[in-house]
Each structure stands twice: as structure tokens, then as C-alpha cells.
Amino acid sequence: MESKTDFLSKLLNKKSTGLVESVNDLRDKEFSGIKLNSEERLALSNFDKYRIHVLNSQSDEQQFHYKYRQLQVIANLSDWREFLKGEFLR
């Protein structure tokens, strides 16, 4: 199984062929009062668990801030459906 750190690198290096609906797009949708379907809610939950895992596993403040910025990029640019795959299914 692919490690979560490898997954982070994969997401950051992934090329997109067009606009995608991101994790943050789902959050905006939810905050606007639009109900999310079960897959969208699961993806948000999985992303949050992943984010907490990545940040809690950092050993120093500099690395923490670096990973935090990477996670912001992922939340803004990666397709939310990535968080329905493999290791994120709970």
C-alpha cells in the first residue's frame, strides 16, 4: 500500500486536464447551505483525517508549516474524488 506521504507527493505532482471540484469547493458549497451527498461528505471527512494525520506526524515546526502549505494547495486544486480512493475509505 502506498504511504500517505507518497500520496501527498503524487497529488502535488498530478497534472490536471481542466477544472475540477476541489475539497475547498465542497466546503464552500456546504457553507452556502447546499446539502452535500454522502460521497462528498465522506471525501471531506477523509481529507480532514488525512490532514490531521500528516500534520500530527511532523517532528518540527518548519516541516509542519511546509506540509500545512502543501495541504492548502491540495485542498484548493485536487479533485475531491481523490479522497474516496483506496487508503481513505473508512
For residues 75 and 47, is the Cβ–Cβ distance under 8 A?
yes
pLDDT digits (tens, 9 = 90+) for 47-73: 999 999 999 999 999 999 999 999 999
pTM of the model as a whole: 0.77
Counts for the chain of helices (H) and strands (E), in that order: 4, 0
Which of 17-26, 39-48, 71-80 bottoms out in mean pLDDT, i.e. has the lowest? 17-26
- Rounded Cα–Cα distance for residues 2 and 14 (Å): 16
Q: Which residue reads 506521504 in cell numbers?
A: 5
For residues 81 and 22, is the Cβ–Cβ distance under 8 A?
no
- Rounded Cα–Cα distance for residues 68 and 16 (Å): 22
